[in-house]
Amino acid sequence: MEYRQLGHSGLRISALTLGTMTFGGRGGFSAVGATGIDGARRQVAMCLEAGVNLIDTADVYSGGLAEEITGEVIKGRRDTLLLSSKVRMAMGDGPNDAGLSRQHIIAGCEASLRRLGTDHIDIYHVHEWDGQTRLEETLSALNSLVSAGKVRYLAASNYAGWQLMKALAVADSHGFERFAAQQVYYSLEARDAEYELVPLAVDQGLGILVWSPLAGGLLSGKYRRNGSPESGTRQVSGTWNEPPVRTREKLYDTVEILVDIAGAHGASPAQVALAWLLGRPAVTSVIIGARTDEQLLDNLGGASLLLSADERAALDKVSAPELIYPYWHQLNTAADRLGPADLALLAQYLPGEE
């Protein structure tokens, strides 16, 4: 397993991270998975044996049950791994049971620590934007958790580019702890993160952790043009609506390239999709979660798959995002003075880069 530095921080994490959204199966999360303690214990053991050192969870996953299961299965080996969790989503019906107020952040962190059975969280994410709470209040509360030793590193998730850049500016101006990373949706099915979030990470030295790298299973190879995926999957049942698919024909074209490359390597399409992500700018770790041990074992193989430049170029081309304004204009008029952050998006469109 390769270990990568998390942005400009000193923390090193494995190229693959174990995600726990499948743990528990309470409420709407049953559409994603319902792994109990025994299954979770097996999956954690499999990941640790493969060299994974980070487990990612969130308070909202199965209403706290995923954190409880995680805490139970890591007993006796907390010192051998890193934990990531999140705060922001609604955890009750009260007026202060959601958001990024000082009240909810501190209460949420304390509750997560209890469920996880630990005295600190290694990477603590704000799970989503809160447009009704001043960033000064949010970042001050997070900074106090770092100062108290309850949190080691901070990260954001699902922020827009301007929101994340504003948060970094506020942290810098007040001397608060900065976000070391961001967790984003990024896959061959949807490369929207390349417009703003990936260039921002390159420019500001943030690590990127990727959620849903297989687009909810759409890049597993099971969903093909004129194919019939197995019944009971979340994409067929309609019980889970993330991520949305805007252009199904483009998805099918991408899957065909994945299948061809996988065949040449004796690998699975999922492994190829993961390997592609691990070669993208600023990506530190890709979060894998699985309903079954077999799926998890397959995903773990993606960390050791090496793609050729031609294979990467083929995947880049078939899945390339449309250049929206101002990027098409910058490509046409500013190509003589592009920096590393600009090139994270535009390099693939320059002559000779195909």
Catalytic (active-site) positions: 61
Place of tokens 């970094």: 168
For residues 109 and 181, give the distance between their C-alpha atoms in angstroms, rounded to a whole number.
18
- Measure Cα distances from 148 to 151, 241, 353 in Å: 8, 38, 48
Question: Coil, strand or helix: which one is 220?
Answer: coil
Q: Give the N- to C-terminal CA distance of the chain in Å, as an integer.
A: 30
Residue 265's CB: how many other CB atoms inside 10 A? 15
- Measure Cα distances from 9 to 6, 89, 179, 261 in Å: 6, 26, 10, 35
**All residues at 6 or more sequence positions from 324 whose CB lies less than 8 Å from its CB, including other chains:** 195
Furthest CA-CA distance within the chain = 58
Q: How many residues does the chain have?
A: 354
Question: What are 353's two structure tokens?
Answer: 């880069």
Question: What are 125's two structure tokens?
Answer: 């994410």
- Measure Cα distances from 346 to 109, 284, 308, 320 in Å: 39, 21, 20, 10
The phi and psi torsions of 142 (rounded to 5 degrees) equal: -65, -40
- Measure Cα distances from 60 to 28, 138, 140, 183, 334 in Å: 11, 19, 23, 16, 44
Comparing C-alpha atoms, which of 232, 278, 230, 229 is closest to residue 251? Answer: 229
